Chain A
Amino acid sequence: GAVVSQHPSRVICKSGTSVKIECRSLDFQATTMFWYRQFPKKSLMLMATSNEGSKATYEQGVEKDKFLINHASLTLSTLTVTSAHPEDSSFYICSANLGGGPTYNEQFFGPGTRLTVL
């Protein structure tokens, strides 16, 4: 159980176009999902917290108009990279909170999406 999927796993796009990445919790409902960005051989940097039915909370320095997050259902969050540029090329990872814990909820990670902007 507790499987998180991401789609697509890999995407190549032209500079100036927008790209949507989906994150789904397959066998549980997640009121909270997180989006991370990982550069090669670097750590995961939290971009934003996605809350079902409300606006996402962005980390300092992350442009909310560039990285649009929508969490329309309890099993789906999407990250749209708008007007992508080569510097947006990165590995994007989502995680979903498995709720119900009294003091904390374990996060389960998706397999990631590699975005390459030409």
Chain B
Amino acid sequence: AQTVTQSQPEMSVQEAETVTLSCTYDTSENNYYLFWYKQPPSRQMILVIRQEAYKQQNATENRFSVNFQKAAKSFSLKISDSQLGDTAMYFCAFMKQGTASKLTFGTGTRLQVTL
């Protein structure tokens, strides 16, 4: 079974600053995917970024980037130029390779962006 750990229950960052959210996972699988999801106050889950484990290059999506360390089983999310709209719960998630595979979520990090 896979486990996903987010050790930061809450974080705060000032607008325009950079923040990094941590995530570690445990698995015996070699082929898998890692995700960061955002859940704003509306509760709608939004995919922020995805990383394929077989890719060494870290994924980036505009202001969002990851630091994927496969050997260390670490998958952190960096948000640059933080905006007020980034305020949300952020969940790290794991999915093993397969077309009907399920997601395993971490416990989440509540991010507050302040003026």
Contact = CB atoms under 8 A, between A and B. Distances in A.
A105 B99 CA distance: 5
Contact of A107 (B43, B44, B103, B108): B103
Interface residues of A, number: 26
Contacts of B104: 46
Most chain A CB inside 10 Å of its own CB: which residue of B44, B97, B102, B105: B102
B97 A103 contact: yes
A108 to B, nearest CB: 8
Nearest to B108: A43
Nearest to A32: B100
Interface string A73-114: 000000000000000000101010101010111110101100
Interface string B31-60: 101000000001111110010000000000
B98 A46 contact: no
A19 B87 CA distance: 33
A46 B45 CA distance: 14
B4 to A, nearest CB: 9
Most buried by A among B45, B101, B106, B107: B45
Contacts of B50: 106
Given A42-B107, A103-B97, A104-B33, A93 B102 contact: no
| Interface residues of chain B: helix, strand, loop or mixed (majority) | loop
Interface string B90-102: 0100010111111
Interface in B45-80: 45-47, 50
A111 B100 contact: no
Interface string A21-60: 0000000000110100010011111100101000000000
Which 10 A-B residue pairings sit nearest by Cβ, starting from the closest? A109-B45, A43-B105, A32-B100, A112-B43, A44-B105, A43-B107, A111-B44, A105-B99, A43-B108, A103-B97
28 contacts: A31-B100, A34-B102, A38-B43, A41-B110, A42-B108, A43-B105, A43-B107, A44-B91, A44-B105, A46-B102, A46-B103, A49-B100, A91-B43, A95-B103, A97-B99, A97-B100, A99-B99, A101-B99, A104-B97, A104-B99, A104-B101, A105-B100, A106-B47, A109-B46, A111-B42, A111-B43, A111-B44, A112-B44
